[in-house]
Amino acid sequence: MALRTPRRLTTALLAPALALGAAVGLAAAPAQAAVWNTCDQWGNTTLNGYTLYNNIWGSGAGSQCVWADSGTNWGVWADHPDTGGIKSYPNSKKVINKPITSLTSLSSSYNVTVPASGAYNTSYDIWDTDYDYEIMLWVNHNGAVGPLGTSQGSVTLGGHTWNVYKGNNGANEVYSFLRTSDSTAGTVNILPVLKWIKDTKGWMGNETIGDVQFGYEITSSAGGLDFVTNNLTVSGG
């Protein structure tokens, strides 16, 4: 089971950034006629209201580059060794900044192309503004990866059926929803998931939802693998 930590920049994470960032910067960018690309460890940009982030945060990581034609059409080439532990979470982020009870809708559509090998999950990572609660929605996963915490059974919400896990990584609560079958395209109604956590389970209060991230939590991708977000939209508020 892969332990996870929040994808926030901390002093501890920044300490090795210079050495790793230098190594990553030597990797060749993918052959894309892209609007933007980077191989920097913390490389990021904002396009069309979305923030793209290379985000190589785990120990023992290899090389990784991200390219983007827009905030909703982008991809990643990653060559991380076949070892345990999450190496990165390249993602595209939309900022919401509204309390759950003030949201009238919150949904997202995704269309991805993912490799048949490697160890990873394709997931939404949803945070409150204080980073006390992390809600992950896995739409597909491959290889030796697993959620943090203990099983809470299954539930049908937002147009999908999920296996639910509840845990804590020492910094924040983590609620993971794993789709019971893999999907590479679809629409997720996120608001019912948030209301279920808040109202049905009582696992959090009326938190202000800050970031809705979507990306690839990569544990291994030896030899270099491509992850492509063909289309992504996050809407509502």
Is beta strand 225-236 parallel, antiparallel or unpaired with respect to 73-79? antiparallel
How confident is the model at residue 237, as a pLDDT?
76
How confident is the model at residue 129, as a pLDDT?
97
How confident is the model at residue 22, as a pLDDT?
35
If one counts the domains in the chain, the total is: 1
Residue-wise pLDDT for 21-74, tens only, equals 334 443 444 444 689 999 999 999 999 999 999 999 999 999 999 999 999 999
Exposure pattern of 45-55 as b/e (b: 16+ CB <10 Å)? Answer: bebeebbbbbb
d(CA 138, CA 153): 15
In a domain, 184, yes or no: yes
Q: Rg for the chain (alpha carbons), in Å? A: 17
How confident is the model at residue 220, as a pLDDT?
98
In a domain, 123, yes or no: yes
How confident is the model at residue 72, as a pLDDT?
95
Listed residue (33, 31, 80) closest to 54, CA to CA: 80
Integer angstrom CA distances of residue 54 from 90, 106, 164, 201: 5, 25, 27, 34
Centre a 10 Å sphere on the Cβ of residue 103 and count the other Cβ atoms it contains. 17
In a domain, 1, yes or no: no
Centre a 10 Å sphere on the Cβ of residue 119 and count the other Cβ atoms it contains. 22
In a domain, 161, yes or no: yes
CATH number at residue 93: 2.60.120.180
In a domain, 89, yes or no: yes
Q: How many CA atoms lie within 13 A of 154 on its CB side?
A: 9
Q: How many CA atoms lie within 13 A of 116 on its CB side?
A: 0
**Cβ pair 22, 43 in contact under 8 A:** no
In a domain, 5, yes or no: no
d(CA 59, CA 212): 24
Which residues lie across from 179 on neighbouring strands?
162
What string of pLDDT tens digits covers the 237 residues of the chain? 333 434 433 323 333 333 343 344 434 444 446 899 999 999 999 999 999 999 999 999 999 999 999 999 999 999 999 999 999 999 999 999 999 999 999 999 999 999 999 999 999 999 999 999 999 999 999 999 999 999 999 999 999 999 999 999 999 999 999 999 999 999 999 999 999 999 999 999 999 999 999 999 999 999 999 999 999 999 997
In a domain, 191, yes or no: yes
d(CA 79, CA 98): 37
In a domain, 3, yes or no: no
The residue range of the domain holding 57 is 11-236
Integer angstrom CA distances of residue 183 from 18, 24, 44: 37, 30, 27
How confident is the model at residue 8, as a pLDDT?
39
Which residues lie across from 47 on neighbouring strands?
50
